[in-house]
């Protein structure tokens, strides 16, 4: 009997086949895949197990840490304020957050935060992972720092602090924390089970992460003044810590969001469906078009990979990276392989979330298999 449940329209049977193969072969431990077209769900599948001991089935409402998929939720939150006329992505960050102007950051614009080009991709040492749970105090530290490169000239992936930076701007404008703003303006109106700061009552639904096996290396051999080292090792992400209630409840907009494929697709369908969903107009075409205003295209200083960022999202890079289609498409992924793709040409959103993490910083073979099956259908190649 298949360990895959949910719904799949006949047109997308290839997605079910690809997902079922990965779950039943054991390549997946537990996972979910969702596809929407014109804001309506055409694929909503889940299967496998929520724990490595295989004692808890992955259920329809299982949640998992989606890591950097959370950044797309932060970006969309910021775009809501742009739509409302309360935020200008070309305005100086210090206009909204005056303390941020310290130490040579007066000219950094909001778009630089949203596109990883601000020069402030992490914290100066010493700092421990738990120090960033207090988002106000951790953001104050960022405001006091100097940028690590000339803002706007290159990207340096804001791996852990993306939500601290943009979230503080949102809080200065609205008086609400990032997690509260996202919940009140997006998650609840859309009935989407995604959380930036998971309520205590929902912690029992969170799947256990199975980290990948990374190659052992000597950190001391890395230049400790490099953007890579300071971004990814100050502090170092600890996967065991990611399973604690403290992590799960913290409002970590860079990498701490918890949801599943259904909730990711539901929220992000606001983009692929032209800004309108559930009978409500969230964004105009003008605001959505900001996403495609390219901010950088080149070698990222923090993750040492070629990346292409618009405002708040990655943009397609033909022949590079995961199976993201070309066109008017915006996307991003989460550490371990979670993915979201918004294809505006075809009004499609694809989402995937899992607990068995793949190695590498961007993408996975499993994510590629599901994306290929999806977009082969969407683009008439099936």
- Where do the structural domains in the chain lie, given as residue ranges? 4-378
CATH, range 4-378: 3.40.710.10
Per-residue pLDDT of the chain (382 residues; tens, 9 = 90+): 468 999 999 999 999 999 999 999 999 999 999 999 999 999 999 999 999 999 999 999 999 999 999 999 999 999 999 999 999 999 999 999 999 999 999 999 999 999 999 999 999 999 999 999 999 999 999 999 999 999 999 999 999 999 999 999 999 999 999 999 999 999 999 999 999 999 999 999 999 999 987 655 566 677 889 999 999 999 999 999 999 999 999 999 999 999 999 999 999 999 999 999 999 999 999 999 999 999 999 999 999 999 999 999 999 987 667 789 999 999 999 999 999 999 999 999 999 999 999 988 888 999 999 999 999 999 886 5
Contacts for 247 with CB less than 8 Å, ≥ 6 apart? 133, 241, 256
* DSSP tag of 316: -
Contacts for 251 with CB less than 8 Å, ≥ 6 apart? 135, 163, 167, 177, 178, 179, 196, 197
Distance CA 348, CA 117 (A): 28
Whether the Cβ atoms of residue 162 and residue 334 lie closer than 8 Å to each other: no
What pLDDT shows up at residue 218?
Answer: 63
Which residues is 109 bridged to in the sheet? 92
136-148 in b/e burial notation, b at 16+ Cβ within 10 A? eebbebbbebebb
Contacts for 64 with CB less than 8 Å, ≥ 6 apart? 30, 206, 207, 209, 258, 259, 260, 338, 353, 354, 355
What pLDDT shows up at residue 1?
Answer: 47
What pLDDT shows up at residue 380?
Answer: 85
Whether the Cβ atoms of residue 310 and residue 296 lie closer than 8 Å to each other: no
Phi, psi of 233 (to 5 degrees): -120, 0
Contacts for 279 with CB less than 8 Å, ≥ 6 apart? none
Whether the Cβ atoms of residue 340 and residue 72 lie closer than 8 Å to each other: yes
């Amino acid at each position: 009997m298949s360990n895959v449940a949910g719904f799949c329209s006949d047109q997308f049977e290839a997605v079910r086949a690809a997902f079922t193969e990965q779950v039943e072969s054991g390549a997946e431990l537990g996972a979910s895949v969702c596809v929407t077209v014109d804001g309506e769900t055409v694929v909503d599948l889940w299967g496998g197990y929520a724990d490595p001991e295989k004692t808890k089935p992955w259920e329809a409402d299982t949640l998992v840490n989606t890591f950097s998929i959370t950044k797309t939720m932060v970006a969309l939150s910021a775009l809501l304020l742009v739509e409302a006329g309360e935020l200008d992505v070309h305005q100086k960050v210090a206009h909204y957050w005056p303390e941020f102007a310290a130490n040579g950051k007066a000219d950094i614009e909001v778009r630089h935060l949203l596109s990883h080009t601000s020069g402030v991709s992490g914290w100066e040492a010493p700092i421990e992972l738990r120090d960033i749970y207090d988002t106000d105090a951790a953001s104050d530290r960022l405001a006091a720092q100097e940028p690590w490169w000339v803002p706007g000239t290159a990207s340096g992936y804001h791996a852990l602090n993306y939500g601290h930076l943009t979230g503080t701007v949102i809080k200065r404008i609205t008086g609400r924390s990032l997690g509260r703003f996202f919940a009140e303006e997006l998650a609840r109106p859309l009935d989407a089970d995604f959380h930036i700061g998971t309520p205590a009552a929902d912690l029992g639904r969170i799947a256990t992460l199975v980290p990948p096996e990374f190659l052992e290396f000597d950190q001391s051999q890395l230049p400790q003044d490099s953007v890579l080292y300071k971004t990814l090792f100050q502090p170092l992400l600890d996967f065991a810590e990611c399973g604690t209630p403290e992590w799960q409840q913290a409002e970590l907009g860079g990498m701490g969001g918890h949801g599943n494929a259904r909730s990711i697709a539901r929220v992000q369908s606001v983009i692929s469906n032209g800004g309108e969903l559930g009978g409500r107009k969230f964004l105009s075409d003008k605001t959505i078009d900001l996403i495609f205003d390219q901010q950088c295209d080149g070698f990222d200083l923090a993750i040492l990979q070629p990346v292409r960022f618009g405002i708040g999202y990655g943009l397609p890079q033909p022949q590079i990276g995961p199976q993201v289609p070309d066109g008017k498409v915006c996307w991003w992924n989460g550490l371990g392989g979670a993915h979201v793709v918004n294809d505006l040409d075809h009004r499609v959103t694809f989402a995937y979330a899992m607990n068995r993490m793949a190695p590498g910083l961007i993408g996975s073979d499993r994510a590629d298999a599901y994306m290929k099956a999806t977009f082969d259908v969407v683009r008439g190649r099936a």
